[in-house]
């Protein structure tokens, strides 16, 4: 039988690594399909057309391969086990699987522990809704394995990393355990200790795990924020390893996103007279510590980064935007202080950070608070479009676009339109790197001053002919 032959080759310790890996890929593909109907056909074939002895043999070979010293074969076996588990676990046709994986983590050699933990993660990543519903019943077994592997007492770094990753994948299914204070305390202790492991991979994964915990269990986080998470995450944001710092920053993105959503939900609850969600103001309480760190991280740009690269500076910008939407006017003074200090800085990184920070707070604070700042700052921002460094000019164009999009009432057509349009077209012509930001700002400007539908004239009319000529010049260039 095809599946049995592939499983035997995957389990064959004498076979070449490339052959075993190919067998593993073929096995995974045999259980995979992009279309739901095709996937169901594959699952029904396994359930109805493969005899019990063949199934038992394939499963046994797959579990056996988890113990291979060839980590790639072990990982391939884990993916194959997860493919079968997606079919069998919801139907209770592989009851010995989870106990076997727990036993492997508790008593196996390091490579078996690692592969078994990865397998649990692969199973928890499955998208099949029947599988996800049934995994709740296995939460105790899952937690037993992943927490045991994630503890600081685990000396093998690869095992500990696999455990933290699998814990993160399993969090959705362990709500009952998280509701238990004693179990929750222990899980949080293990994850917090892992952020201080000294291994960058484990620390980054641990902050990612904390992000998921905050997103799923915000209502349970007040005690842990006060005791540990404020300090740990701020320290993580300052970590010299970029992957660690980015995930610590993303923790505060998650906090802000949750609190924005909770405020929206509670406003609706008040209107409907229904129960409100717990709201702890984590972002506002921590703003004095978090926001200054974000502002400094804005200045860690990589001048060679491609537009799609997600680096630490862009992570900090995203978080600052969310912070402004969450705490509104509370953020303005500290950001303005940074902007005023660095707008004329000799180092372009800080000029760029200052311009970016100003643009980041254009959504969230009350427009009446922002309007006088924009009226004062708009000529300066337009002037920054002549900065000798293209990154600064691009950030200035984007900040102008943010103003046009969110606080356009602050733009005086008589005073600002001509220099603003001129600066944006000059930027559009000067560098391809700026084209996206300049076009976006011009589009927002045109939408803002388009006037009422059907009107014959609007504040942009006087600039129309010149704008068309400059656009044509760019396309011909």
Is residue 288, in this structure, part of any structural domain at all?
yes
From 312, 337, 365, the end of a domain falls on 365
Record the tokens describing residue 385, joined without a space: 């479009």
Crossing angle of the two packed helices 2-11 and 17-30, in degrees rounded to 10: 140
Asked, for residue 69, whether it belongs to a domain, the answer is: no
Concatenated DSSP letters of 132-182: HHHHGGGHHHHHHHHHHHHSTT---HHHHHHHHHHHHHHGGG-HHHHHSHH
Nearest residue to 419 (alpha-carbon basis) of 382, 465, 450: 382
Query: Is residue 274 located within the same domain as residue 393?
Result: no
Looking at the fold, whether 355 and 235 belong to one and the same domain comes out as yes
Q: Is residue 53 part of a domain?
A: no
Residue 286's contacts (CB-CB under 8 Å, 6 or more residues apart) are 230, 234, 252
- Per-residue model confidence as pLDDT tens digits over 381-430: 999 999 999 999 999 999 999 998 998 888 888 888 888 888 888 887 78
The pLDDT assigned to 357 comes to: 97
Q: Based on the fold, state whether residues 232 and 335 are members of the same structural domain.
A: yes
Last residue of a domain, one of 365, 380, 403: 365
Residues contacting residue 337 through CB under 8 Å, at least 6 positions apart: none
CB atoms within 10 A of CB 414: 7
Residue identified by tokens 């202080």 is: 337
In a domain, 125, yes or no: no
Taking only Cα atoms into account, the Rg of the chain, rounded to an integer number of angstroms, comes to 28
Q: How many CA atoms lie within 13 A of 448 on its CB side?
A: 21
Domain holding 359, by residue range, is: 195-365
| pLDDT at residue 325 tops 90 | yes
Model pLDDT for residues 377-391, shown as the tens digit of each residue: 999 999 999 999 999
Q: Are residues 352 and 217 in the same domain?
A: yes
- Torsion angle of the four alpha carbons 92, 94, 96, 100, in this order, in degrees rounded to the nearest 10: -130
Per the model's pLDDT, the better-predicted residue between 93 and 303 turns out to be 93
Average pLDDT of span 278-293 = 96
In a domain, 103, yes or no: no
Rounded distance, CA 219 to CA 279, Å?
A: 8
Q: Are residues 349 and 239 in the same domain?
A: yes
Give the Cα separation of 434 and 394 in Å (integer). Answer: 5
Q: Are residues 356 and 381 in the same domain?
A: no
Question: Does 318 reside within a domain?
Answer: yes
Q: Same structural domain for residues 408 and 273?
A: no
Is residue 394 domain-shared with residue 359, that is, in the same domain? Answer: no
Residue 25 lies in a domain: no
Write down the pLDDT at residue 340.
95
Q: Is residue 338 in some structural domain? A: yes
Give the span between the Cα atoms of 232 and 207, in whole angstroms: 9
**Of 306, 332, 365, which closes a domain?**
365
| Mean pLDDT for the chain overall | 90
CB atoms under 10 Å from CB of 270, counted, come to 10
477 and 336 within one domain: no
Write down the pLDDT at residue 41: 87
Pair 234, 249 in one domain: yes
The total domain count for the chain is 2
**In this predicted structure, what is the pLDDT of residue 464?**
62
């Amino acid at each position: 039988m095809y599946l049995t032959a592939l499983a035997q080759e995957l389990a064959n310790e004498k076979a070449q690594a490339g052959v075993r890996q190919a067998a593993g890929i073929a096995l995974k593909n045999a259980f995979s399909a992009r279309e739901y109907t095709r996937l169901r056909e594959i699952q029904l074939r396994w359930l109805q057309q493969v005899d019990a002895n063949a199934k038992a043999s394939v499963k046994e070979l797959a579990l056996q391969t988890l113990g291979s010293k060839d980590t790639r074969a072990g990982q391939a076996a884990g993916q194959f086990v997860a493919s079968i588990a997606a079919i069998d676990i919801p139907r209770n046709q592989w009851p010995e699987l989870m106990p076997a994986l727990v036993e492997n983590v508790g008593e196996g050699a390091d490579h078996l522990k690692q592969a078994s933990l990865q397998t649990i993660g692969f199973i928890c990543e499955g998208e099949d809704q029947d599988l996800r519903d049934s995994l709740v019943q296995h939460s105790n077994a899952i937690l037993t394995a992943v927490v045991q592997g994630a503890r600081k007492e685990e000396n093998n770094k690869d095992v500990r990393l696999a455990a933290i990753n699998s814990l993160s994948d399993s969090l959705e299914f362990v709500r009952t355990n998280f509701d238990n204070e004693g179990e929750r305390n222990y899980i949080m202790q293990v994850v917090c200790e892992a952020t201080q492991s000294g291994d960058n991979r484990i620390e980054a994964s641990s902050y990612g795990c904390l992000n998921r915990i905050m997103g799923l269990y915000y209502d349970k986080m007040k005690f842990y924020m006060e005791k540990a998470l404020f300090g740990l995450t701020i320290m993580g944001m300052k970590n010299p390893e970029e992957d660690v710092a980015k995930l610590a920053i993303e923790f505060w993105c998650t906090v802000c996103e949750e609190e924005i959503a909770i405020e929206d939900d509670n406003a609706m609850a008040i209107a409907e007279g229904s129960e409100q969600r717990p709201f702890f103001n984590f972002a506002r309480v921590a703003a004095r510590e978090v926001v200054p760190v974000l502002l400094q991280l804005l200045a860690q740009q990589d001048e060679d980064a491609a537009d799609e690269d997600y680096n630490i500076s862009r992570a900090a910008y995203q978080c600052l935007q969310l912070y402004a939407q969450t705490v509104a006017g509370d953020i303005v003074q500290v950001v303005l202080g940074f902007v005023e200090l660095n707008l004329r800085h000799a180092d372009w990184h800080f000029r760029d950070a200052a311009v970016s920070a100003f643009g980041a707070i254009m959504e969230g604070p009350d427009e009446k608070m922002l309007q006088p700042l924009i009226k004062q700052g708009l000529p300066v921002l337009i002037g920054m479009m002549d900065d000798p460094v293209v990154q600064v000019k691009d950030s200035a164009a984007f900040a102008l676009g943010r103003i046009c999009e969110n606080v356009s009432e602050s733009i005086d057509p008589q005073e600002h339109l001509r220099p603003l349009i001129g600066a944006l077209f000059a930027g559009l012509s000067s560098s391809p790197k700026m084209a996206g930001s300049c076009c976006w700002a011009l589009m927002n400007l045109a939408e803002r001053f388009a006037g009422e539908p059907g009107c014959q004239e609007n504040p942009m009319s006087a600039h129309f002919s010149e704008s068309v000529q400059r656009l044509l010049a760019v396309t011909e260039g």
